[in-house]
Amino acid sequence: MEAQGLSKWFYLGIVGIIIGVVMIIRAHGDNKSKAMENGYLLFILGCVGVVSEFTDFATVLLLFIAVSGVVLLLDKLIWGKSRSDTQIKPHYVHYSREFFPVVLAVWVLRAFLFEAYQIPSSSMRPDLTVGDFILVSKFNYGLRMPITNQVVIPINKVERGDIVVFQDQTKPNRDLIKRVVGLPGDTITYIDKRLRINGKSLTYQNDGSYDYTEAGPNGDVMIHNQRLIEDLTGVKHPIIVWDQVPPVILEMVQDFPGKENCQYNDEGFTCHIPEGHYFMMGDNRDNSLDGRYWGFVPDKAILGKAIYVWMNFRDLSRVGTKIE
């Protein structure tokens, strides 16, 4: 496999750090100057760009909390004792005091309560469209430990039909959103673009058509889809299928843990889901890189349940749409 280089954000981060340090030095310790304020802002954004290349954003926030917390602790125990009441606090102490409570609040909110995401692709059409900003409940399935993502206080179980956000199993520091179609222990079959779960065929109702445009190498392409209502064992939701694409593009199927539990052919596939894992598919069945191609999602990779669309600047009518 060919090694991938560092992203543009890494190099922009390096530039931000350098410019920020220069501005901080030129501010000559003046905590109230705009140069100092903007310098620290650029420095922090640059650090985020660099560190995010190697870990997730939650860990980046945790690192900032740790660094600013250590600075404040050292100031309280050592530096502050040798400083008179009339002396101005060093800039690194001043800005650690400014940033620490804000970053801590953001980290707690993201780690335990809610997180916002933007839908970047058409894989979950028709329910979710490109440009949707969605709110994800981080505590719906239980209180999870930061970093490890292990559940410490269970609340609800992941249910078939839920739309969930989870950690990509093929690329680090990237999250995906799909619908849960298979639970631990299930056997799912997808033949001729119809699902069977544990030997029982799902029911499908014709619901007209659904057209949308997708960017292609030679410009936008109009894709004409059949819209169906799928009854996912009690959870009815719309899906779309495109007759120009097979149920599974076999050459795109990757090697993944547990692949021996699956059988593929030209008509589709059958998979037995291991315990502690889930099977995810996009509602836009013929334009979704999902579990068919990269396998199962372990419970520890589940990040939360999508609940609402809170903004879409292209279509304000979608604001407040409940995700089901």
The question of whether 317 is a catalytic residue gets the answer: no
Within this chain, do residues 259 and 138 fall inside the same structural domain, yes or no? yes
**pLDDT tens digits, one per residue of 189-248:** 999 999 999 999 999 999 999 999 887 777 888 989 999 999 998 999 999 999 889 999
Concatenated DSSP letters for 183-219?
-TT-EEEEETTEEEETTEEPEEEEEEEEEEEEEETTE
Within this chain, do residues 299 and 256 fall inside the same structural domain, yes or no? yes
Q: Where are the alpha helices (DSSP H) in 52-145?
A: 57-77, 91-108
pTM: 0.77
- Confidence check: pLDDT of 295 > 70: yes
The single residue of 122, 123, 137, 288 carrying the catalytic annotation is: 123
Within this chain, do residues 126 and 103 fall inside the same structural domain, yes or no? no
The single residue of 68, 138, 178, 288 carrying the catalytic annotation is: 178
Q: What's the domain count of the chain?
A: 2
- Confidence check: pLDDT of 294 > 50: yes
pLDDT at 143: 80
The residue segments making up the domain with residue 250 are: 119-318
Burial class (CB in 10 A: 0-12, 13-18, 19+), 304: buried
Examine residue 1 and state whether it is found in any structural domain, yes or no. Answer: no
The question of whether 193 is a catalytic residue gets the answer: no
Within this chain, do residues 87 and 176 fall inside the same structural domain, yes or no? no
Examine residue 291 and state whether it is found in any structural domain, yes or no. Answer: yes
**pLDDT tens digits, one per residue of 60-94:** 888 889 999 999 999 999 998 888 878 888 999 99
| Domain CATH number, residue 170 | 2.10.109.10
Examine residue 137 and state whether it is found in any structural domain, yes or no. Answer: yes
**pLDDT tens digits, one per residue of 110-132:** 777 888 888 989 999 999 999 89
Within this chain, do residues 105 and 221 fall inside the same structural domain, yes or no? no
Whether the CB-CB separation of 132 and 274 falls below 8 Å is answered with: no
